[in-house]
Amino acid sequence: PEAVLHGCKDIQLLQSWEEVNGLATTSTSELSSPGSESTPAMLEDVLLEKLDDFDDPKFFIDLNAGHMEDAGIFNPILTFLNQDRYVPSFQILYDLSFSFLNSTFYGFSDEDDLVLYLETSRNWAKRTHSVWAHDRLCFLLGKLCIKKVKFSQARVYFEEAMSILDRGFGDLPLLAALHVNLASIYLKQNMKHKFSSLLGKTLALLACLPDRSFSSENELEVMMYVLREAIAVGNAPLEARVCFLIVKLFLQLGKNDEVLPFTEHLQCLTTTLLSPDTSSAPLDATPILSYLYDKKYLPNIALASARLFVPSGIKGAPTPIWRAGLILQNTSKLLGSQLERSGIPALACFYLKQALHFSCETRAVPIQRTLCAILSRMYLQQGVLDGAVCYAAMAVTLSRLMGEEETFESSLSLGWMYLLNSQPGPAANIMWQLLHSLHGTESVTQGGAVHNLLAVALKGEGQVQKAAENYLRALHKAKETGNKRNQAIALANLGQLSLSHGASQLSELYLLQSAQLYAELQGSEDLEMELVQVLLWLAQAMVNKQRMEGGKLCYELALVFALKWHNVRSQLHITESLCHFYSKVSPNLQACITYHEHWVSLAQQLQDREMEGNVHQTLSQLYQALGTSETLRQSLECTKQSLRIFIDLEETVKAAETWLQVGRLYYLMQEDELVEMYFQAAIQTALKSKNFSLAMDLYEKAGDTFFNGSRNRARAVEFYR
């Protein structure tokens, strides 16, 4: 065995990516999306051998006693199985999942009936000297014995098949299956001498046969043995090839937990141990690893693995589109509640652009359009509106190659991007064109959407009267179709238009009707987030009319809906409004503190350190305003938190001023031994950055603290000096 293992030095690890049927790839006609259960492409399906489209022969099992001695009854199966070379129809006889039980044979009540039929067929094959049929029938009987864990009986059948197989190279899959299955039984039954005599041929067929298919899970034992021995003798190519076959078998069996360590080992082998001048390109296992990490819900490692993968362009290999989909999916898992449900992480931008470039090369227009739409939305989320407009315009150009419906959708999206980018003119032009294209059609709903966006554009151009008219047209079309959601949107927009021009009474009327319609609809996330915006406008309308309790109720109800759906961005916007309301409009110090504390937690979820530092400073001032010893201590803690953040962010001016504020708080708490230390830290921070103007200002403020205080007023002199 050792000599055999040493001798297999020149095997190729992988004939091509097609050998594994795209271990971790998906079609170029599909794009993975975050949260989708079907993306990236399911390897369990991809790995299964894809057979050509042909009609497999089927045989009726007739166990009638009179027929068992009739040779004519068995002629069809013997003729089929006696072909002297491999044909695709044989694959279902040899495969891992015993497909022949459900496809090739029918009419039997249990497997014992099938065994009896195959035994009789075997006897007729012997009588008629049908060698190939005899051989294949022995193999099938052996497989069924393995299925029932009857290894000794299976061994007898396999040995019988091997004894008559003198022209086996016509059917290499059968030859390989017989050798590997028989070797696995010898290994299982500790028949070392027989195993050793069979190992050479088994190893050659196992390691060197391209497009290797598996016929039994028991083959794993032989491959594990060969892997151990290959490691022991230092045969890296054989080790990698067998490791690859183990990975393939585990994936076909759906054993994702067991396959992971072998895949990781395979990646190490292909990147560090194999000779760079090998005649075939080494297999990059990172796509398989990405898939497995994704399955185990390890988004950090899945993301790192996917980002390491470099698409090769080899036929059958994973594409940049597959990689972009996997990165989108796992980045969304990783960020979790930091993103809205439909959010697109900025990290995916580079990979989406590469996917777009690849789809341009392959002229996959639908995918190009989809990717442009995704990139446009991503740029919009990041506030880069020029980029959002650019990709939306590309989507429109591509959609014209597809159809009217796609062109309409993309044009509507481009118009919206123009509006968000403060370009009402181009947006209005697009909407007029869309209205013209809808003329004479029955697309009432689409017409309402266009009128709605046209009204927004006209409002942006200062044409308030025309904007109101188009909102009303949108409302009438929504009523015509009975679409309550579109009615609610049109009413909300009319309310906002009225509010922005000081008509608070009319605004409240429209907004209340809109809110009532939303309340009647089913509470999905999209609907309730739209209701949140209506409630914010309604709150402003009520505040304008000095109805503070109503305004407070609307603000807080909006926050309840945002909390319900864990929408962090929406919570942030509402919390800012509530903080302003309780500090300026209807002052309530305790409520203001409560909402500022929530604001801090939102900044932490968004990982916005600068925002967190600024809100901590404001919260410190609010605690200080309460004036008790306990709240002074809380104020000090908030100030120290902001100080840590500003130091981390290298915000020199803010850090220096915060050092000073900590000193002031210690003065108020009568802990004088710490006051001057923090004042000096503030001044030294300014001096180190050579900001002498700031340093002078800090000296003066430090002096003022002592001079205006009730203790140690004489210390003010040295700071003033």
DSSP labels, 666-677: HHHTT-HHHHHH
* Whole-number percent of the chain with pLDDT over 70: 87
Which is more confidently placed, 317 or 501? 501
- Which residues, at least 6 apart from 137, have a Cβ–Cβ distance to it below 8 Å? 81, 118, 121, 122, 125
At residue 22 the predicted structure's pLDDT band, cuts being 50, 70 and 90, is very low
Tokens of 587: 């002052």
Q: Which CATH class is domain 61-200?
A: mainly alpha
| Residue 30: predicted pLDDT | 38
At residue 34 the predicted structure's pLDDT band, cuts being 50, 70 and 90, is very low
3-state secondary structure 378-394: HHHHCCCHHHHHHHHHH
Distance between CA atoms of 330 and 340, rounded to whole angstroms?
15
Which is more confidently placed, 153 or 76? 153
Return the exposure string of 596-608: e unless at least 16 CB atoms fall within 10 Å of the residue's CB, then b. Answer: bebbbebbebbee
| Residue 443: predicted pLDDT | 79
Helices (H), 309-401: 320-335, 349-361, 365-381, 385-399
| Residue 310: predicted pLDDT | 85
Residue 506 has pLDDT above 80, yes or no: yes
Length of the chain: 721
Residue 32 has pLDDT above 70, yes or no: no
Helix 609-626 to helix 652-668 angle (10° resolution) is 20
| Residue 209: predicted pLDDT | 83
| Residue 17: predicted pLDDT | 39
| Residue 91: predicted pLDDT | 86
| Residue 25: predicted pLDDT | 37
| Residue 28: predicted pLDDT | 32
Q: Closest Cα to residue 284, out of 301, 268, 273, 296? A: 268
The answer to which of 81-90, 219-228, 273-282, 311-320 has the lowest mean pLDDT is: 273-282
CB 405 within 8 A of CB 412: no
CA angle 75, 77, 78 (to 5 degrees): 60
Residue 42 has pLDDT above 70, yes or no: no
Cβ–Cβ contacts within 10 Å for residue 28, how many? 16
Q: Closest Cα to residue 332, out of 287, 300, 373, 286? A: 300
Burial of 313 (0-12, 13-18, 19+ CB in 10 A): exposed
Hey, which residues does 105 pair with through a beta bridge?
59
Query: In whole angstroms, how far apart are CA 604 and each of 600, 611, 648?
Result: 6, 9, 15
Q: What is the pLDDT of residues 526-559, one digit of tens each?
A: 999 999 999 999 999 999 999 999 999 999 999 9
Annotated domain spans of the chain: 61-200, 651-721
Q: What is the pLDDT of residues 237-249, one digit of tens each?
A: 889 899 999 999 9
Mean pLDDT of the region 622-644: 95
Mean pLDDT of the region 48-68: 55
Mean pLDDT of the region 565-570: 92
Residue 282 has pLDDT above 70, yes or no: no
Mean pLDDT of the region 579-595: 97
Q: Work out the end-to-end distance of the chain between its first and last CA atoms, rounded to an integer number of angstroms.
A: 92
At residue 711 the predicted structure's pLDDT band, cuts being 50, 70 and 90, is confident
| Residue 14: predicted pLDDT | 40
Hey, is 502 helix, strand or coil? coil
Backbone angles phi, psi at 31, to 5 degrees: -130, 130
Return the residue matching tokens 């185990």: 296
- Whether the model clears a pTM of 0.85, i.e. scores above it, the answer is no
The answer to which of 9-23, 141-155, 289-303, 318-332 has the lowest mean pLDDT is: 9-23
Distance between CA atoms of 260 and 243, rounded to whole angstroms?
11
Residue 57 has pLDDT above 80, yes or no: no
| Residue 12: predicted pLDDT | 44
Q: What's the whole-number average pLDDT of the chain?
A: 86
| Residue 167: predicted pLDDT | 64
Residue 275 has pLDDT above 60, yes or no: no
According to DSSP, residue 79 is labeled H
Q: What is the pLDDT of residues 68-123, one digit of tens each?
A: 666 677 888 899 999 989 888 888 888 887 888 777 777 676 788 888 889 989 99
The answer to which of 8-12, 277-281, 710-714 has the lowest mean pLDDT is: 8-12
Residue 369 has pLDDT above 90, yes or no: yes
| Residue 99: predicted pLDDT | 80
Which is more confidently placed, 350 or 12? 350
DSSP 703-717: HHHHHTSSS-GGGHH
CA atoms within 13 A on the CB side of 38: 5
Hey, is 64 helix, strand or coil? coil
The answer to which of 17-26, 389-398, 628-637 has the lowest mean pLDDT is: 17-26
| Residue 534: predicted pLDDT | 97
Residue 183: left if φ>0, alpha if ψ -120 to 50, beta else—which one?
A: alpha
Distance between CA atoms of 647 and 447, rounded to whole angstroms?
55
Mean pLDDT of the region 317-324: 89
* Whole-number percent of the chain with pLDDT over 90: 60
| Residue 342: predicted pLDDT | 58
Distance between CA atoms of 407 and 305, rounded to whole angstroms?
37
At residue 24 the predicted structure's pLDDT band, cuts being 50, 70 and 90, is very low
Mean pLDDT of the region 129-149: 93
Helices (H), 148-218: 151-164, 172-188, 192-208
